[in-house]
A and B are shown apart, each in its own frame.
Chain A
Amino acid sequence: MVLIPDLAVQGAQMLLVLVLAPLLTGFVRKIKARLQRRQGPPIVQPYRDLVRLMRKEVVLADNASWLFRIIPYLIFAATWVAASLVPTFGTGLLFSWAADLIAIIAFLGNARFFLALAGLDVGTSFGGIGSSREMMIASLAEPAMIMIVFTLALIAGSTQLSTMAEFMASPAVGLRVSLALGLFALIMVAIAENGRIPVDNPATHLELTMVHEAMVLEYSGRHLALIELTASLKLLLYVSIIACLFAPWGLAAAGAGWPALAVGVAAYVAKLAAGGFLLAVFETSIAKMRVFRVPEFLGAALMLGLLATLLRFVSGSF
């Protein structure tokens, strides 16, 4: 039976993203701390935080509804499913055809929709401000992302991430203007979607410009742990998408043997480390912008994406 090893590889991918996600977050924090000449917490600190939060009791606001309690599980499920369908160490996973890149974007949209509802559920002003701003940011980031998907899909002739990654790894790609524009736009969107500097600061509380942290302010205990894990997963997901599309080296082909898979995993970890390092350097070297500058930032990403798509429509050679 071919199904059993395929299933094992798919399961391994699901576990791998789950295990690596907090590590990536810890790694980025560590690098940032070192760049700021601080010692910083150990890389495994996010795991400890998660364990600590899981053990604590949940303090639920009096007014919180049933929806508030199931939303952490919902957004975790949506993000995890999305992350398990992205090629990380190998293409042609068992279920990779179940959703293409547009659907993966929509899963993340799913998670955002429900998290924004959670921000409104208790009826506090902080939750509202977070939800409202998150949806404003998303209203520009999501179309920008779709435009990037269009560009890449038109180059690769598919919206299927596995096929796209295989195409990108093949020599047929070449250097293209639209690819460069798409990469720039994708990085901008990834920064905004993950609430990183300069759009949002993941390390702040009680600052009037915060977005993500304001939405989850009322969460505690295991709920908060899941939300933190989801945020880490989302970061890992975006780094993985960028890696599999723009650095598709070392990806194991479908049905490859153990050695190829091992190479794939090693390459993936190296790519994550490189991505995390670059993110930390970028975040350290730039200041956070005012919330109403964010639309300009994302508008630029949207325009880059649209330009890249237009180039693809006008001529196949760009």
Chain B
Amino acid sequence: MTLTLVLACAAALLALAPAAVIVSRSPAATPLIYGASLIVTAISLAAALAHLLGAAAPFSVTLPVGLPWLGAHFRIDALAAFFLVVVDLGAFGASLFALGYGAHETAPGRVLPFYPAFLAGMTLVVLADDAFTFLLSWEFMSLSSWALVVSHHRVPDNVRAGYIYLLMASFGTLALLLAFGLLAGVDGLYGFAQMRVAHPSATFGALALILALIGAGSKAGLVPLHVWLPLAHPAAPSHVSALMSGVMTKVAVYGFVRIVFDLAGPPAWWWSILVLALAGVTTVMGVLYALMQHDLKRLLAYHTVENIGIIFIGLGLALAFEVYGMTFAAALAFTAALLHVFNHSLFKSLLFFGAGAVLNSTGERDMEHLGGLIHRMPRTAFVFLIGCAAISALPPLNGFVSEWLTFQAILLSPQLPSWGLKLLVPAVGALLALSAALAAACFVKAYGVTFLGRPRTPVAAVAAETDRFSLAAMFLLASLCLLVGILPGLFINALAPVSAMVLGGHMPAQTGAQWLALVPIAESRSSYDGLLVFVFMVLSGGLAAIAIHRLASDRLRRAPAWDCGYPDASPATQYTAMSFAQPIRRVFGSVVFAAREHGEMPPPGDVRPARLTVTIHDLIWDALYAPIAAGVGIAADRLNSLQFLTIRQFLTLVFCTLVILLLVLAIWS
């Protein structure tokens, strides 16, 4: 029943795409399409929530579409239902936001048809129950989001972003195709149900893990496969950026979990080492990249890379615990990862919405041209602050809860017998702690430079508050961030069926403890009570305010800024995004980015200005992608001469190829 409803919703979204093409010239098209998407995703969200919270049994259906002898298999189980909730909640928020934001779109005809198609693609990936349907939906999701990335195709950067995205997406799909091929075994049974019972050999399982890491990891943004992400996510319209960063990366996480935890059979001990090492590097690299940015949306996109690292740390730990039969610890790590999936989809969407509101109001994405927006966009500034605090893992908001659970899982890992893990896990813990601290620095910078201080350009000085729909979407997500932060137990209980399905065990129900506290293992070991912490903070802050205003002075006088007696009227004397990050760039950047500062000071009497030049290299791009691109270029140049052969030479070429292929086949069998 649920599945039918959800599939009907996906079909409705698919139908909206051609409808959008027809009506796109009409001024009513934008509210119509986004309004319809809003209603459809709300229904789908309700159905998915009912399935997850009701802990309903898995349900599958086969539709007579797709390959004639195969059909399209769809199935909803706890894992799919959870990710469907993430997709639909993100889509619901984005549609609500777009009701206001989309009105400013200059070319709605290039956005409206692909938006519902993109939503349908993501829904179908999560529901697919055979490799063919999965890959088809996956590719559909990639292509529709690509179309949205290049919707503003006159901007040269967007075209480059779209090109790189297309290449990486095809490469990722190829890896997934091969992974499914290996898992399908010799009989070539592509249904997930058949794969699940046909355990692959150790080699095939390992290859499937590596291919899933490449395929799903490149879509999620694991370093070093992340390069497309910070280019493509910001290039799309902001509500689509929010969907790509907040939701599509989670669909990639779903793909990884489905293949590695569900289909690939029992894991080997070294799988977790590979995942944890990649995840640890991803976490720190992501946030360091983000710190170096001054484009608000690109900063957010790089920060997604960091959060994907945190999620994969949880998944890697879960794999490690699962191998050694520590089901309880595995459930804790897995729940932490899933909760972070949910949390990140909330605050990353919120932050992209905020960036979109700023972009709409000022036309600027570059933080160096903004500043002081808290005075002109107070509501946006307020919700953006909540998003920044949540993503920086500050209590009592939601980001802290999932990071806290991950730390608790790390603290269980000395019991692991493997020496490789014993040495790696503390290092990963240090990287996680480092990234949490750097994330706070990153968001102090993002918020401080964009919303605080004085306006750096005239557009920032005359910005106006954004519209009601955008604000409603942002306030909805911000209140969810707070709700998950203060009542994490409810959400962890909802995740129990997922972890029970995947790992065969789940965290203890979080309702028994007093005051709704979160007790992952035992109360004497660790506990955290978001609600109580929130109440304490409000009470003590309020108490201090009341006491001081009653008992002491409450007088206030406005005056020019003091600045130690040297205030400068020019807003250019403020700290900028680049200068804020300078100490961190000096500490970490000289190694990680080969960052160099070169100061040019003219001699006394010379009237030229002094100049400071900072160079930053993306070493991953230089070391990995630039050689590949150069190699492809050289090969293409060489092959170019083949274009000008005579028909006789072409035929010889075809004949030789045929003979070689037949020979290979003969030797193979």
Q: Which of A's residues lie within 8 Å of B, judged by CB?
A: 54-63, 65-67, 73-74, 76-78, 80-81, 84, 95, 97-100, 102-103, 106-107, 109-110, 112-113, 116-117, 119-129, 131-133, 135-136, 138-143, 146-147, 150, 153-154, 157-160, 163, 205-206, 217-218, 221-222, 225-226, 291-292, 295, 302, 305-306, 309-310, 312-314, 316
Contact = CB atoms under 8 A, between A and B. Distances in A.
Interface in B433-465: 433-434, 436-438, 440-441, 443-445, 447-449, 452-454
Interface stretch (B1-9, B341-349, B552-560): B552-560
Contact of B453 (A97, A123, A157, A292): A123
Contacts of A138: 437, 440-441
Contacts of B582: 132
Nearest to A110: B394
A296 B77 CA distance: 51
Interface in B573-602: 573-575, 579-584, 586-587
Interface stretch (B146-154, B186-194, B385-393): B385-393
B410 interface: yes
A57 B553 contact: yes
A233 to B, nearest CB: 11
Q: How many residues of B sit at the interface, in one of the four size bands?
A: 35 or more
Nearest to A166: B524
A98 B528 contact: yes
Contacts of A67: 374, 381, 385, 452
Contacts of B583: 132-133, 135-136, 291-292
A295 B562 CA distance: 30
Contact of A102 (B394, B407, B568, B571): B407
Given A113-B394, A131-B580, A138-B441, 8 more contacts: A54-B553, A61-B558, A67-B374, A138-B440, A150-B410, A218-B563, A312-B414, A313-B413
Contact of A99 (B529, B545, B559, B581): B529
10 contacts: A57-B555, A58-B555, A77-B540, A103-B404, A110-B394, A121-B374, A127-B575, A159-B407, A218-B562, A218-B563
Contacts of B445: 135
A230 to B, nearest CB: 10
Contact of B524 (A76, A123, A135, A160): A160
Given A76-B540, A100-B528, A62 B404 contact: no
B541 A76 contact: yes
A84 B536 CA distance: 10
A62 B559 contact: yes
Contacts of B433: 142-143, 146-147
Contacts of A142: 433, 436-437, 440
Contacts of A225: 548, 552
Interface string B387-415: 00100111100001000100110110110
B84 to A, nearest CB: 31
Interface stretch (B351-359, B418-426, B636-644): B418-426
Nearest to B375: A65
A125 B568 contact: yes
A135 B579 CA distance: 13
Nearest to B454: A123
Contacts of B517: 97-98
Nearest to A105: B433
B434 A143 contact: yes
Given A128-B575, A139-B434, A99 B423 contact: no
Contacts of A141: 437
The 10 closest A-B pairs by CB, nearest first: A128-B575, A120-B448, A123-B453, A77-B541, A54-B552, A136-B583, A146-B433, A143-B433, A57-B555, A135-B441
B60 interface: no
B540 A100 contact: no
